[in-house]
Every structure is written in C-alpha cells, then in structure tokens.
Amino acid sequence: GNSVTQMEGPVTLSEEAFLTINCTYTATGYPSLFWYVQYPGEGLQLLLKATKADDKGSNKGFEATYRKETTSFHLEKGSVQVSDSAVYFCALSEAAGNKLTFGGGTRVLVKP
Amino acid sequence: GAGVSQTPSNKVTEKGKYVELRCDPISGHTALYWYRQSLGQGPEFLIYFQGTGAADDSGLPNDRFFAVRPEGSVSTLKIQRTERGDSAVYLCASSFKGERTQYFGPGTRLLVL
C-alpha cells in the first residue's frame, strides 16, 4: 500500500534560518504530492502541491520539488519567521477521489 | 467564499453513548471525505463520498462507525457505543469531482470519558 515518511520533530530554529523537512513516499502509481500545514489551534491548510515528476510547488516562500527518482518531496524555506511555527504534513493521493495518505507530521518551532 | 464547516467544534461524551458529527462541504464540491487524527499523528482516512453514495468506506474501523450524505451535500458521521479509544479529532474535507486537492474543515474534537 501507499505510505509517507517524514522526519520526526520537533525542529527548533532561529528566525531567518533555513528550513528543510524531508518527506519520502511509496506508491504504486503516479501520485500527486502535497504539503499541508496546521497552525496552532487551526485546521489543516493546503500549503503547496505538485502533480507530476519534476514539478515544483511553491507558496508563502516554501518550495518542494517532486523527485520521482528518489521518491521524495522535501519542503524548504530559505528564511523562516516566527509565524511559520506549525505542524507540517506531507501527503499523497493516487487519483481523483482517492484518499490522502499522510505522514506523521513534523512540528516546527521558530524562535525570535 | 465559505470553507468546509464542521459542528460541533468540541464534543464530550461518556463511554457507550451515541454521537453525530456534522460536515458542510464547500459549495459545489461533490466529493467529501472523513478522516480521524489522533494526538501527535497524521490524519487517517475513514470514508469517501462521491455525491450521495459512499464510494470507499475501507477506513471505517468497525461497524460502530457509519456515515451518510443523503442529499449529496451535508454529511453526518455517526459513532455508536463510543469507546475511549474513539477520542480524536475528526476531520472533514471536500473537493471538486475529478480533482485531487482536498480542502479541510477545522475538525471536531471528540473526547470520550
């Protein structure tokens, strides 16, 4: 079956530091890949997505590139802010109408 | 526009009781999903509706869990004879037909005492 593995947290950073959260996946077909973010006290929000190999998703300064050869979709941001403190989830979907399979989440804490 | 809404936001019940959780999807979204998120974990799939019918209910953990969507819009997740292990955040998501991107509601936090 499908699975998503992401690095365990918490990840603690200083403001303006570089952030990377690793995500690798296992899927039988050609999945779409997603990063969702959960800010404290809020629901899951779509951060970015990529639908095919070599696509790059980007939003709010975050980027992730769909790497089929390494089955990875690592999330990066060049300069984090305190407001980026949240839990980040990597997820995949193999088809429209197909369930999302999530990783376990990575908590990020950015200190001023 | 309005996003996915879920009610109640919090529900406390006693072991053995029956609960209903409601989800109102984004207008025009024909696909609706339920997930369960335990503390410190990622969401886990429960059931998927396309229109009024359950297209995939493979994630329902047992027959105490049931969901309906009688008019193809609002959905209700029903849990009978609740157990303490059912305590979690129940998330609802919706999407347009044919799209993979799902949009989530704020969730219902269920606590079974």
Could you report the per-residue pLDDT of B84-112, keeping only the tens digit for each? Answer: 999 999 999 999 988 889 999 999 999 99
Beta strands in A2-103 (DSSP E): 3-6, 11-14, 19-21, 23-26, 32-38, 44-50, 56-59, 62-65, 75-77, 86-93, 101-102
Task: Give residues 16 to 75 of A whose Cβ lies within 8 Å of B.
Answer: 32, 34, 36, 42-46, 49, 51
What is the structure's pLDDT at A20?
A: 97
The per-residue pLDDT for range B46-83, each reduced to its tens digit, is: 999 998 999 999 999 999 999 999 998 999 999 999 99
Quick one: pLDDT at residue A48? 97
- The strand pair at A106-111 and A86-93 is best described as antiparallel
For B:5-64, CB contacts with A below 8 A are: 31, 33, 35, 40-45, 48, 50, 55-56, 59
Segment A100-112 shows an average pLDDT of 96
When computed from its CA atoms, the radius of gyration of chain A, rounded to whole angstroms, is: 13
The per-residue pLDDT for range A6-64, each reduced to its tens digit, is 988 899 999 999 999 999 999 988 899 999 999 988 889 999 999 999 999 999 999 99
Residues of A in contact with B41 (CB under 8 A): 104-105
Judged against a pLDDT cut of 60, whether residue B1 lies above it is answered with no
Q: Assess whether pLDDT exceeds 60 at residue B35.
A: yes
- List the single residue in A with minimal CA-CA distance to B89: A43
Using a CB-CB cut-off of 8 Å, the residues of chain B touching A1 are none
Residue A102 sits at the chain B interface (C-beta within 8 Å): yes
Picking from B43, B59, B100, the nearest residue to A96 by CB comes out as: B100
Could you please report the per-residue DSSP string of A9-32? S-EEEETT--EEE-EEEE-SS--E
Residue B44 confidence (pLDDT) above 80: yes
